[in-house]
Structure 1
């Protein structure tokens, strides 16, 4: 994953109320936003800036699953190895798989990357998949990240319940047994499931002929964490946040931005890495779901456009594009999940902005509520600001 670790000084200054910046759309830009389709890229020359005043908010964890992510090391450089091994207790588990076949010495070779779950309890274990997203491995990380996140938000529970005997192990995603992972291809899976026995989850890389069960019996070397690639790995107790603003957004006050997953105003979640027992930090909060509720009103009769942009494009070559997905409440467009951008793979850099929604005023300055489901987009640098722009309708 591609979180950029630059200190976000401007964000910190804005939070202290020491930095303001007047942003107004030109008439032509206003019209461009109003005629744009949802998810479309719109060029706003001279408008986008990291100096946008930030929206003050409260954030608190809400009940959710045990959360496991496998993304450290992101690139598995040896032919056979264990990339993650974590234990979970009975209950709901969210599991985010983000690993790449990185074998290039002495030559590039095809591999399998498989996630196994073993029943470590004393009774048969039932597994029920609540959310299931599997994708064919690819070198197009942006496509996998954007489409995978949108699919996870839309996923519904499966009816099937699998039974696993004590001591037995099965693939979490049986399709991973069939995929051939070529050099530099990403294996991207997003799952949420329920188990009724203690279990152990293992991610491993092996050859094409070996099954996950046999690989789990044979492979013992666990790759060390805290490598140069990847956002983190381990077991985390926080998987969901609720966010609400402490000051009502008013269109008369101009443009403002909600900034989460920046590592400054919104710290990274911490947990534990199972094989070393060390504290784990997830740089980027990838896979964490933010349930956002924002109050707004219009005392000047304007509407409110919600846009986003790739604010980290100048940092380095890894930040050259951004692709995301969100669920947004109704406005000009219907409520629903939208890939960002929708009309192309990524948005590159300012002056490109992506239109998410346009909210209409009530006519009597009545408060309204905007609801969003946001999660930091995999493969993109962070933060990805959510910018609220007053527009003349």
Structure 2
């Protein structure tokens, strides 16, 4: 993934709250937020900082699919090579593919990058796609990252069942088999499917036009595992449920939910089977967070939800941020929101992106905010989710 700044990491499941400093909107910012369209940028001068009180939460590991990611190496420098190879068992599988044609020696050449599934069982394998997201290879990593997430969230899968004979291989995404990937172009795929035989998943770079079965049978060299990028291997966590310890109350001021920072929310771990080494998924890309936050308003204020590019100053790779999220209803309807919706990226403070504005209940009783979040590929992390009490009158 395009250069991620990694913070401290550890093995914990309870996020700690750091009492830092109260953040207050400048005069007129309430009005500016309310005049902003959902998914659009609103400027909040003097407000955005990482030093905002964090929401205490619990992460519950939910049952989920076997989870495989291919992003190490991100740039495949070898003309014909395997960037990932992992065994899977019958059941559900999630595969996140994030690789680039990096061949430049002795010359920059066209390639294809495909995800291959081999049936290693003794009976015919049947595959059905549960969720599917595939974009045309591109140099526009930010667009691919946020569009890929949005398409995954929106996908309803397929009723088509594909059959694979024992010992045979197919391309998991038939579109990728037809794409020509030019130098430095990103191949991005997000798939969740179910199989009924044991199998083997490989990510292969080969010459355009190479049949899938030929690539699977003839290409044997596996690129060494390097820990150079976000991750590679099969991981033990694919889905989290996030629940706050204490009800968020508008009277207590601004708070933020911090996910995918490597400290408050540690990286998940797994195994890279070719080397046998423990793998750390720096960024938790492809992990799904099902968030449920309890909140109330004892002072009659609403709650605006925004995010921003908190790492814009880190390095040249962090100059923009783009994401997608699913949010429950408020002043705007519930649904999938690309962040930002009306331009490619947000850059830096004072820019914030408005995700939703939640209205207080008439009697001040508790309500639940629901979010579906996954760390956005191609953007630096974290992407803080900031809840701002605002006057809706």
Q: TM-score range by the shorter chain?
A: over 0.9
Contact 2:16/2:56, CA 8 A, preserved across alignment: no
Contact 1:65/1:237, CA 8 A, preserved across alignment: no
TM-score, with structure 2 as normaliser: 0.97
Report the Cα offset of residue 238 of structure 1: 0.9
Distance 1:19 1:333, change over 3 A: same
2:62 maps to what in 1? 62
**Structure 2 residue runs without a partner (length 5+):** none
**Structure 1 counterpart SS, 2:28:** helix
Q: Structure 2 matches for 1:231-242, cutoff 5 A?
A: 231-242=230-241
Contact 2:128/2:193, CA 8 A, preserved across alignment: yes
CA distance in 1, matches of 2:267, 2:144: 23
Contact 1:90/1:195, CA 8 A, preserved across alignment: yes
Contact 1:3/1:283, CA 8 A, preserved across alignment: no
State the Cα deviation string for residues 114-136 of structure 1 (Å, max 9, x = none).
Answer: 11100000000000001111110
State the Cα deviation string for residues 199-248 of structure 1 (Å, max 9, x = none).
Answer: 000111011131121111111110011253x2010011210000010011
Report the Cα offset of residue 5 of structure 1: 3.3
Q: Structure 2 matches for 1:171-320, cutoff 5 A?
A: 171-228=171-228, 230-320=229-319
2:346 maps to what in 1? 347
State the Cα deviation string for residues 295-354 of structure 1 (Å, max 9, x = none).
Answer: 000011100000000001111011111100000000000010000000100011111000
Contact 1:3/1:382, CA 8 A, preserved across alignment: no
CA distance in 2, matches of 1:8, 1:392: 37
**Structure 1 counterpart SS, 2:32:** helix
CA distance in 2, matches of 1:198, 1:295: 42
Contact 1:139/1:185, CA 8 A, preserved across alignment: yes
Distance 1:48 1:232, change over 3 A: same
2:71 maps to what in 1? 71
**Structure 1 counterpart SS, 2:170:** strand
Contact 1:115/1:203, CA 8 A, preserved across alignment: yes
2:381 maps to what in 1? 382
State the Cα deviation string for residues 19-71 of structure 1 (Å, max 9, x = none).
Answer: 42121112311111001100000111100000000000000110100000000
CA distance in 1, matches of 2:227, 2:206: 20
**Structure 1 residue runs without a partner (length 5+):** none
TM-score, with structure 1 as normaliser: 0.97
Report the Cα offset of residue 76 of structure 1: 0.2
The root-mean-square deviation of aligned C-alpha atoms, in Å, is: 1.4
CA distance in 2, matches of 1:100, 1:145: 13
1:156 maps to what in 2? 156
CA distance in 1, matches of 2:301, 2:3: 35
Report the Cα offset of residue 107 of structure 1: 1.1
